[in-house]
A and B are shown apart, each in its own frame.
Chain A
Amino acid sequence: MSTPMMAAREALGELPNPLGLQGVEFIEYATSRPQALGQALERMGFQPVARHRSREVLLYRQGDMNIIVNAHQDTERTGLHAPPTLTETPVLAAIAFRVGNAAAAYRRVLELGAWAVHTEVEVMELNIPAIHGVGTSRIYFVDRWKEFSIYDVDFVPIPTVNPRPPALQGLHLFGVVQYIGLGRGADWIHFYSELFGFAELAPDQSFGVLTHGRILASPCGTLHWQLIEPLVDALDADPEELLQRVAFGTPDVLATVNALRARGVEFVESPTGVHTGTRGALTRADAGSPSFELVLDAR
């Protein structure tokens, strides 16, 4: 018996893990319509558990996944370090890696050629080191995830809700899908391997129902990063590079799809293209909500 996850681990063996990477602490979306995104997240099984002390930012959680919905428009910073203008369609704005030592990780990646994000924190708030990722996205480094959490400092719990809602159908973070420009595969593979120790999986390894592209695995083995170039017949389309979507792992895709449908989630069901199967599924995006991918993964 084997699962995609086990296959990935066995093919990878022990990878060097220069930052002591241990998965993802949080994923951040930016949107000017936080309620629409919040409702979509709740349909996916997330619960709002805490509110930022000073900004319009909410923390959603299920199992060990944290999603931050950021509707705070920072107008003070301009130029390179200005955060992008909020849009109605949510943007996958940041991913926070759990690392052994955030300061050391930050110093190491800057030494290798990463671009620092100059964050400005309010009084008594945590300064979480970050670098620029693809497009307007950022990558944070968090090392306080064992004894106490970063949310204890910057967030206020929402009263009467369970701060640790269990995961629906064993949902957990499986990976991230990044759109890249034509011929940019080698560049981005170099980026993630040089800075974080990711390694490309063999071309015959694929997960879910969207198997196009190249897949990297994190050195901790818990995160997959899929790089997707434009289709050849779509070369004239917008060449923008960005983080496109998040993929959740589940031990039983069909049962999870049924459970999510009952909660009002709609899935892409194309007779000739992407449709729900035992390997995976894709939720339908709308103006206020991005699409999420489901991937068969026992974990």
Chain B
Amino acid sequence: MRRTAMQRNVADFGMDTISLAGPLEAKLAAVKEAGFGQIMLAARDIVGHPEGIEAAVHAVRSSGLRVTGFQVLRDFEGLSGHLHSYKVDIAKQMILMARDLGAPVLLACSSTSSHATADADAIARDLRKLALLALPHGIRVAFEGLSWGRHINEVHQAWAAVEQADCPNLGLAIDSYHQFATSTPLSALEDVDPEKIYLVQLSDFMWQETRTVQERIDTARHFRVFPGEGVHSQALAELVRTLDGMGYQGDYSFEVFNDDYQQLPLPYVAQRAWNSALWLAEGVLQRAVPLPGHPRIKTLA
């Protein structure tokens, strides 16, 4: 049974393995220990496991954590000929891994390739095919507009492609980083059906603007911080409140690529993430608590 917005709590927020260094088992343990109930997995965690994919799947399934989703399929839509066939093979492998992990959602992000067409019909046809490939395996495809995407780089463009493709298991992934990087207003979400938002990824960053595409890419890959730790806390809170007000009831995952976090003890990083989750769950969505990094008298953990 779905909770009402008022009952929403910290369980809707999860960490992402890409924020953490070390082996998969250590990541899973740190995330669980911090208090989270779910985790967003990356293919690298699974295929990079020293004992193989089956051991990785076993580690995830015995971790006690729910899998938020699986990432990331890149550059699928808009290609043709042998490039398209190649990407279909890649997509099938990603789908099989997601299925084995019990991941309900596969994240696919918009093409950056200069070989990708801008033809909306071709893009919709490819997304429709991707969704159908995932369908028998019970996996939903969440399509995200990367802020440096070749033709689709804002959330309303990604939504238009999802709408045109029109499949029951194809929806939208919203990433706060990309929305802020392109200064896309919240009004871009006006037409989005909240039932078709399959995943929301949250992160903050430390500077106001990313002026060039290269700056967007560098910031996205190295300098993201947890929600509330950067300079976009207000905008991030507004985004979460907007989604909540629209009726979005799905998961929020912290998509935080950060070179510093990649070389710090896992419990420390996971605790920072947990503070962000508390801020969002209690502060942004319900009642005021201090921003992460500021002293709390007592945590719920």
Tally of contact residues, A, Cβ under 8 A: 20
Smallest CB–CB gap between B258 and chain A, Å?
36
User: Is A163 an interface residue when CB atoms closer than 8 A count as contact?
Assistant: no
Chain A residues with CB below 8 A from B168, complex form? 186-187, 189-190
User: Is B138 an interface residue when CB atoms closer than 8 A count as contact?
Assistant: yes
User: Is B136 an interface residue when CB atoms closer than 8 A count as contact?
Assistant: yes
Cross-chain contact B129 with A113 (CB below 8 angstroms): yes
Closest-by-CB residue of B relative to A180 is B138
Inter-chain contact total with CB atoms closer than 8 Å: 40
User: Is B122 an interface residue when CB atoms closer than 8 A count as contact?
Assistant: no
User: Which residues A119-134 have CB closer than 8 A to chain B?
Assistant: 132-134
User: Is B133 an interface residue when CB atoms closer than 8 A count as contact?
Assistant: yes
Cross-chain contact B133 with A115 (CB below 8 angstroms): yes
User: Which residues A223-252 have CB closer than 8 A to chain B?
Assistant: 241
User: Is A184 an interface residue when CB atoms closer than 8 A count as contact?
Assistant: yes
Q: Which secondary structure dominates chain A's binding surface? A: helix
User: Is B106 an interface residue when CB atoms closer than 8 A count as contact?
Assistant: no
Closest-by-CB residue of A relative to B95 is A115
A184/B128 contact (C-beta < 8 A), A113-B133, A115-B92, A190-B168 known: no
User: Is A80 an interface residue when CB atoms closer than 8 A count as contact?
Assistant: yes
Chain A residues with CB below 8 A from B135, complex form? 113, 187-188, 190-191
Smallest CB–CB gap between A111 and chain B, Å?
8
Cross-chain contact B131 with A184 (CB below 8 angstroms): no
Most buried by A among B131, B132, B136, B138: B136
Chain A residues with CB below 8 A from B10, complex form? none
User: Is A112 an interface residue when CB atoms closer than 8 A count as contact?
Assistant: yes
A190/B136 contact (C-beta < 8 A), A112-B129, A113-B128, A115-B92 known: no
Chain A positions 166 through 192: 1 when the CB is less than 8 Å from some CB of chain B, otherwise 0:
000000000000000100101111110
Closest-by-CB residue of B relative to A113 is B132
Chain B residues with CB below 8 A from A111, complex form? 129
Smallest CB–CB gap between B139 and chain A, Å?
10
A→B interface (CB under 8 Å): 80, 111-115, 132-134, 181, 184, 186-191, 194-195, 241
Q: List 22 A-B contacts (CB under 8 A).
A: A111-B129, A112-B128, A113-B129, A113-B130, A113-B131, A113-B132, A113-B133, A113-B135, A115-B133, A132-B136, A133-B136, A134-B136, A184-B138, A186-B168, A187-B135, A187-B138, A190-B132, A190-B135, A191-B135, A191-B136, A194-B128, A195-B132
The 10 closest A-B pairs by CB, nearest first: A113-B132, A186-B168, A113-B129, A113-B133, A190-B168, A187-B168, A187-B169, A187-B135, A191-B135, A112-B132
Could you list 20 further interchain pairs (A-B, Cβ under 8 angstroms) beyond the known A113-B131, A190-B167? A80-B96, A112-B129, A112-B132, A113-B128, A113-B132, A114-B132, A115-B92, A115-B133, A132-B136, A134-B136, A184-B138, A186-B168, A187-B135, A187-B138, A189-B168, A190-B132, A191-B132, A191-B136, A194-B128, A194-B132
